[in-house]
Chain A
Amino acid sequence: MIEPLIYELSSPGREGVQLPEADVPQTEFPKGLTREGLPLPELSEIDVMRHFVRLSQFNHGVDTGFYPLGSCTMKYNPKINEDTARLPGFAFSHPLQDPEMAQGNLALMYGLQEWLGEIGGFAGVSLQPAAGAHGELTGILIIRAYHLDRGDNKRTKILVPDSAHGTNPATTTMSSMEVIEIASDERGNVDLNALRGHCDDCVAGLMLTNPNTLGLFEEHVTEVIKLIHDCGGLVYGDGANMNALLGVVRPGDLGFDVLHYNLHKTFSTPHGGGGPGSGPVGVLKHLIDYLPDPIVDVIEEGNDEVPPLYGLVRPSKSIGRVKSFHGHFGVAVRAYTYMRMQGKSGLRAVADHAVLNANYLRVRLRDTYHVPYDRICMHEFVAEGCWEDAPEVHAFDIAKRLMDFGIHPPTNYFPLIVREALMIEPTETESIEMLDAFVEAMIRIAEEARSDPEILKTAPHNTPLGRLDEVKAARQLVLCCRPAETNQS
């Protein structure tokens, strides 16, 4: 045990906050509807603060060190974002207050919708989806609604390349559509022949991640999109990898009909230990009417003296609400802050340096780690974490050993089409010195794999905990702890 649980720190009678006494007459509680004693811990404020500070110290974050976790875009989160999101008018406004008394929020949301639309080449944007996967669900429901609205009832197939994130097929199933997996070719693109074979009048759409999960820009993207459109389907873009495309190319110009953005990847909002994210969805003109309810729009045009009046509007054929209220507004404030500060030129520089950093690592590592699709990559690339002359060592061991160097491991075992995959995404915010230090650590690990594989097999050595027994965790499920008194009874 490196830190007791909050319940283990509890001491009967201790209190963490002082609350005022009731200033109104007391009312009797309803009979039979109140509980006896509350099974919560009892601590003073200092106990709580120290506990959580200690816990934080067992974490690796972007602010602690390099975090090249592929497909997650772990860029630096500017501190100013945290301050703007906490401005009182943002943090303490109620989602149901009259829109006329929330004009600052609505102006910000409208601005963000417009900028995201401009960057992606889309005519309409909804900020409602709470995360990337939620944006995918929204997008696929929009595609479904579009076909049904046109009386095109038999389109139930969604084509998904085999290199896709698991969320793509899972989203398809969740939207009650059928997944058809499409193979990749030897250059890491969608295999056009395989795709052609599935294009018929049952195709609702294709989910395409571009750049794909190998970090490669789809070389036949124009043909792929044309094939789908020619058979009457629509193309969904998984914008997880949008960081590489800022100011470089707009998915809408390529013909993508709908795309989700990840504000927590591309637009620097923090990942929060797994959320909250934000997954706005952009659509071309023919899909605007299907966007989730509501979106922000201008109700009355403004002029030089008077700002426009913004309001919440229900698109005419909306798929409905995908969450309560207006999406992750607090995340939107952070993304807005970032985009406004970067501006047009800054956003392009983000893409340039993300791509530059990834390619620099690719060429510096490719003699040591086999890169199966070795061509100019976008924001990330995938290497193999295994060698024939070190048969005992797996990508998993390399990942664990990297922690001893204070580096968060790359994504491993994804995408599934590369064996022992190490998916490396440095992001634009890392300096050449950091990248070189990473390369050195990776080269040293490759040497250890031959000279002293045991040090890899037993890594990490310098972390508060060693390798954890995941089999035990799954076989003997312990998923919560009870307060001491219930344990004894």
Chain B
Amino acid sequence: MEFPADLKYTDNDEWIRVEGDIGTTGITNYAQDQLSDIVYLEIATAVGERLEKGETLAEVESVKAAAYIYMPVAGIITEINEELADTPEMVNSSPFDEAWMVKYEIIDPAELEGLLDMTAYEKHCQEREH
């Protein structure tokens, strides 16, 4: 399983793409594979809201599981992906691109330092396989 090198990751399987002071977040390929067919997604925040690192930004459900998606770093929500509510299966088909969930203004770039890079995250996934 491959993971984009230009992203940062959390050990709860969120990714973050940083462009200037804007972060974009969704869940990883590994996470969608573990959940299997995603049937429901609810963004639990709104544009303009400030969420702290670790606060819930979305909930997803497959047939057999439910998962909560958390903010990798603190941010003020600038955009949410409205399309996902109607097509949650995009999380399965395009986790790193079309199925981004929220964009936000990063409040403290120093928080990015604590996140995993591709290699560290890949290792984290392999460890859980066994």
Task: State the A residues within 8 Å of B (CB).
Answer: 413, 470-471, 474-475
Contacts and interface: CB of A to CB of B under 8 A. Distances in A.
B128 to A, nearest CB: 13
A470 B39 CA distance: 10
Interface string B16-46: 0000000000000000000001011000000
B63 interface: yes
Interface of B: 37, 39-40, 61, 63-64, 88-89
A413 B64 CA distance: 10
- Top 9 nearest A-B pairs (CB, nearest first) are A474-B39, A471-B37, A470-B63, A475-B39, A474-B63, A471-B63, A471-B39, A474-B40, A475-B89
A471 B92 CA distance: 13
Nearest to B63: A470
Main secondary structure of the interface of B (DSSP, over half): loop
12 contacts: A413-B64, A470-B63, A471-B37, A471-B39, A471-B63, A474-B39, A474-B40, A474-B61, A474-B63, A475-B39, A475-B88, A475-B89
Among B63, B88, B89, find the residue whose CB has the most chain A CB atoms closer than 10 A: B63
Nearest to B36: A471
B87 to A, nearest CB: 10
A388 to B, nearest CB: 13
Contacts of B40: 474
Contacts of A475: 39, 88-89
Nearest to B88: A475
Given A413-B64, A474-B40, A475-B89, 9 more contacts: A470-B63, A471-B37, A471-B39, A471-B63, A474-B39, A474-B61, A474-B63, A475-B39, A475-B88
B27 to A, nearest CB: 18
Contacts of A471: 37, 39, 63
Among B37, B61, B88, B89, find the residue whose CB has the most chain A CB atoms closer than 10 A: B37
A72 to B, nearest CB: 19
Contacts of A474: 39-40, 61, 63
A295 B111 CA distance: 58
Contacts of B88: 475
Contacts of B39: 471, 474-475
A418 to B, nearest CB: 16
A470 B89 CA distance: 14
Nearest to A396: B64
A475 B64 CA distance: 13
Contacts of A413: 64
A95 to B, nearest CB: 39
Nearest to A413: B64
A17 B97 CA distance: 61
Contacts of B64: 413
Nearest to B39: A474
Contacts of B37: 471
Contacts of B89: 475
B39 to A, nearest CB: 4
A468 to B, nearest CB: 11
Nearest to B87: A475
A470 B61 CA distance: 13
Nearest to A473: B63
A477 to B, nearest CB: 9
B89 to A, nearest CB: 7
A471 B63 CA distance: 6
A55 B64 CA distance: 27
Among B39, B88, B89, find the residue whose CB has the most chain A CB atoms closer than 10 A: B39
Contacts of A470: 63
A301 to B, nearest CB: 55
B44 to A, nearest CB: 17
A475 B63 CA distance: 9
Nearest to A476: B39
Nearest to B40: A474
A79 to B, nearest CB: 37
Nearest to B64: A413
A474 B89 CA distance: 12
A431 B37 CA distance: 41
A385 B28 CA distance: 29
B24 to A, nearest CB: 25
A470 B64 CA distance: 9
Nearest to A470: B63
A269 to B, nearest CB: 30
A474 B37 CA distance: 10
A413 B88 CA distance: 25
A71 B105 CA distance: 49
Nearest to A471: B37
B32 to A, nearest CB: 14
A332 B41 CA distance: 43
B91 to A, nearest CB: 12
Among A413, A470, A474, find the residue whose CB has the most chain B CB atoms closer than 10 A: A474
Contacts of B61: 474
A413 B37 CA distance: 18
A475 B87 CA distance: 9
A413 B65 CA distance: 12
A181 to B, nearest CB: 16
A470 B16 CA distance: 32
B105 to A, nearest CB: 33
A421 to B, nearest CB: 13
A471 B40 CA distance: 10
A17 B76 CA distance: 64
A413 B63 CA distance: 14
A474 B64 CA distance: 11
B83 to A, nearest CB: 15
A470 B38 CA distance: 11
A419 to B, nearest CB: 11
A474 B60 CA distance: 13
